[in-house]
């Protein structure tokens, strides 16, 4: 994994393509990463119900991706089932990302919505050394997201919308050291500087497993990675506005709620379809929206100040029914009156 993402990725618009300023709604294109299960699957279902264009469900596993695609078609929720597509995409693999870029460019000329959902999180109590957790989590949740943006941003058409799935764990109230918070907010104004800091965290955890805590970072690899995602979102919006101001391209980060998925051991306050509400809201923002732009949006679609002293109160979470295959989502979540809470 380290070899795949060894170089510090930086965002540049060095893949120029000739794009029409706008396309008719039926020709628009939406992409969702990590979408064969969990929240990504829920987001694709919502797009199927609300979006008139082409929808790409992407996943690193061809078999699981194809199965998820078929489940959605069998649910008969798609406005245009013939426009629902699967494409293999392991965001850690540069060849995959490059291949996907060329496929989208050739088939559609551009994209209109990019939802960066793919991510990992280690379970509490994991026996994996913390330095390894930090490296793998940052490489997947932050560095691979950067690389996805580097490859696909040049395809974004006018009024393009980007949604970075984040977490309440990425709120800057998680930073305990004032100087570190100031450095992140005031000095870290480019993706290069932010990426260097992410590498810095990986390095210090290798020296001592608690060195990051002494510096003010939260004691969670996932939280560190999502702080990076939130800050990156702000940096990218500034770049959009300064370099492509007349294109009305908007990127936001979102906390979708405490989602009951395998990643959370099925503990949460919302299921995957309920959690898709805010990401879908951001993906479908109308042209020339004044806000949110480069901001942190909560599960109720409100804008949250991500450097406030405190974050919104965490709701009660409860155990949901374990769902291990997309077909089970249909049985558990899509039948009126069926509860998602586990009994006992």
Coil, strand or helix at 1: coil
Q: From the CB of residue 17, how many other CB atoms can be counted at a distance below 10 Å?
A: 14
Count Cα atoms within 13 angstroms, Cβ side, for 103. Answer: 15
Residue where the block lists tokens 């077909």 = 327
CA distances from 87 to 7, 61, 159, 295 (A): 25, 10, 24, 29
What are the DSSP calls for 86-124, one per residue?
A: EEE--TT-HHHHHHHHHHHHHHHS-EEEEEE-----PPT
Question: How far, in Å, CA of 253 to CA of 233, rounded?
Answer: 6
Helices (H), the chain: 38-50, 62-75, 94-108, 130-138, 144-152, 178-182, 191-207, 211-215, 221-243, 272-275, 277-283, 326-333
222 included as an active-site residue: yes
Assigned token pair, 237: 């919006």
Catalytic residue among 54, 142, 222, 333: 222
Active site residues: 222
């Amino acid at each position: 994994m380290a070899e795949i993402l060894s170089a510090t990725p930086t965002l540049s618009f060095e893949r120029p393509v000739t794009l029409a300023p706008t396309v008719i709604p039926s020709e628009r294109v939406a992409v969702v990463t990590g979408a064969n299960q969990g929240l990504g699957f829920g987001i694709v279902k919502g797009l199927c119900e609300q979006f008139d264009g082409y929808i790409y469900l992407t996943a690193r596993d061809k078999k699981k991706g194809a199965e998820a695609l078929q489940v959605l078609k069998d649910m008969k929720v798609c406005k245009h089932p013939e426009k629902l597509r699967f494409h293999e995409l392991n965001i850690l693999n540069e060849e995959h990302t490059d291949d996907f870029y060329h496929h989208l460019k050739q088939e559609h000329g551009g994209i209109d919505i990019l939802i960066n959902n793919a991510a990992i999180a280690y379970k509490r109590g994991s026996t994996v050394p913390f330095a390894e957790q930090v490296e793998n989590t940052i490489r997947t949740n932050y560095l691979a997201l950067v690389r996805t943006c580097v490859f696909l941003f040049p395809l974004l058409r006018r009024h393009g919308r980007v949604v970075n799935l984040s977490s309440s764990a990425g709120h800057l109230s998680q930073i305990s050291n004032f100087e570190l918070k100031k450095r992140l907010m005031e000095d870290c104004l480019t993706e290069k500087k932010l990426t260097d800091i992410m590498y810095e965290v990986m390095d210090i955890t290798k020296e001592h497993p608690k060195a990051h805590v002494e510096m003010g970072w939260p004691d969670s690899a996932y939280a560190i990675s999502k702080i990076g995602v939130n800050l990156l979102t702000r940096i990218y919006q500034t770049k959009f506005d300064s370099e492509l101001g007349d294109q009305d391209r908007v990127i936001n980060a979102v906390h979708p709620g405490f989602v009951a998925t395998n990643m959370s051991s099925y503990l949460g306050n919302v299921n995957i379809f309920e959690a898709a509400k805010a990401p879908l809201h951001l993906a479908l923002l109308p042209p020339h929206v004044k806000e949110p732009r480069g901001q942190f949006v909560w599960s109720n679609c409100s804008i949250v100040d991500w450097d406030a002293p405190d974050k919104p109160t965490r709701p009660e979470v409860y155990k949901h029914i374990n769902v291990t295959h997309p077909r089970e989502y249909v049985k558990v979540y899509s039948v009126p009156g069926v509860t998602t809470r586990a009994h006992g």
